[in-house]
Structure 1
Amino acid sequence: MQAIKAQARAEFISALVFLTPKVGLFAAFVVVPFVYTFYLMLFQGGLIGKFRFVGLGNFGALLGDGLLRSTIGNTLLFMAVNIPVTVGLALGVGILLARQVKFRGVYRSLIYVPSLLSVSATGLVWKIMLDRDAGPIYGFFKHTFGFELSYLQSGTVALIAVALISAWASVGFYSLIFLAGLNGIPRELYEAGTVDGISPSGAFWHITLPLLKPVLQLVLILTSISAIQVFDIIFVLTQGGPGTSTYTVMWYIYKSVFGGGSVGYAATISVAVMVFSILLAGAIVLFTRSREAR
Structure 2
Amino acid sequence: MAVRRLARDSRDLLTAGPFLALKAAVFGLFVAVPFVYTFVLTFQRGSLLSGLRWNGLGNYRTVLTDTLFRDSLLNTLVFMAITIPVTVLVSMAVGLLLASGLPGIRVHRALIYLPSLLSVVATGLIWKVMIDPEQGPLDLLLDKLFGLRVPWLTDGGVAIVFLSLITVWCSCGFYSLIFMAGFNNIPQDLLEAGRIDGASTWQLLVHIRIPLVRSVAQVVLVLVTISAVQVFDLVFVMTHGGPGTETYTAMWYVYQNAFNGGSVAYAATMSIVLLLVTMIIAAVFLARTESGGEAGD
TM-score of the alignment, normalized to the shorter chain, above 0.5: yes
- Partner of residue 70, structure 2: 69
- Partner of residue 145, structure 2: 144
Q: CA deviation at 1:194?
A: 2.5
**C-alpha contact (below 8 Å) 1:130/1:152 kept by paired residues:** no
Q: TM-score with structure 2 length normalisation?
A: 0.92
- Describe how 1:6-155 pairs up with structure 2 within 5 A: 15-155=16-156
Q: 1:91 to 1:5 in 2, by over 3 A?
A: closer
Structure 1: gaps (5+ residues): none
Q: Distance in 1 between matches of 2:8 and 2:289?
A: 48
Q: Deviations over 1:43-68 (max 9, x none)?
A: 11234212232100111101110101
Q: 1:7 to 1:69 in 2, by over 3 A?
A: closer
Structure 2: gaps (5+ residues): none
**C-alpha contact (below 8 Å) 1:59/1:268 kept by paired residues:** yes
Q: Deviations over 1:210-232 (max 9, x none)?
A: 11111111111111111011111
Query: What amino acid is the match of 1:151?
Result: W
Q: Distance in 1 between matches of 2:160 and 2:17?
A: 49
Q: Deviations over 1:160-205 (max 9, x none)?
A: 1111101111000000110111011122222232333322222211
Name which of structure 1's ranges 74-83 and 149-158 shifts more when overlaid on structure 2. 149-158
Name which of structure 1's ranges 20-29 and 81-90 shifts more when overlaid on structure 2. 20-29
Q: Deviations over 1:133-171 (max 9, x none)?
A: 111111111111111122122211111111110111100
Q: Distance in 2 between matches of 1:207 and 1:266?
A: 46
Q: Deviations over 1:61-85 (max 9, x none)?
A: 0111010111111001100111111
Q: Distance in 2 between matches of 1:65 and 1:160?
A: 24
- Describe how 1:187-226 pairs up with structure 2 within 5 A: 187-226=188-227
- Partner of residue 286, structure 1: 287
Q: Distance in 2 between matches of 1:80 and 1:236?
A: 22
Q: Distance in 2 between matches of 1:7 and 1:198?
A: 54
**C-alpha contact (below 8 Å) 1:45/1:52 kept by paired residues:** yes
**C-alpha contact (below 8 Å) 1:75/1:249 kept by paired residues:** yes
Q: CA deviation at 1:9?
A: 7.8
Q: Distance in 1 between matches of 2:96 and 2:181?
A: 10
**C-alpha contact (below 8 Å) 1:85/1:167 kept by paired residues:** yes
Q: Distance in 2 between matches of 1:8 and 1:62?
A: 50
Query: What amino acid is the match of 1:26?
Result: F
- Partner of residue 164, structure 1: 165
- Partner of residue 259, structure 2: 258
Query: What amino acid is the match of 1:147?
Result: L
Q: Distance in 1 between matches of 2:247 and 2:163?
A: 8
Query: What amino acid is the match of 2:258?
Result: V
Identical amino acids, percent of aligned pairs: 47
- Partner of residue 177, structure 1: 178
**C-alpha contact (below 8 Å) 1:46/1:257 kept by paired residues:** no
Q: Distance in 2 between matches of 1:21 and 1:196?
A: 55
Q: 1:16 to 1:165 in 2, by over 3 A?
A: same
**C-alpha contact (below 8 Å) 1:82/1:167 kept by paired residues:** yes
Query: What amino acid is the match of 1:98?
Result: A
Query: What amino acid is the match of 1:142?
Result: D
**C-alpha contact (below 8 Å) 1:46/1:260 kept by paired residues:** no
Q: 1:10 to 1:199 in 2, by over 3 A?
A: closer
Q: Distance in 2 between matches of 1:237 and 1:120?
A: 9
Q: Distance in 2 between matches of 1:129 and 1:8?
A: 62
Query: What amino acid is the match of 2:92?
Result: L
Aligned length: 291
**C-alpha contact (below 8 Å) 1:45/1:261 kept by paired residues:** no
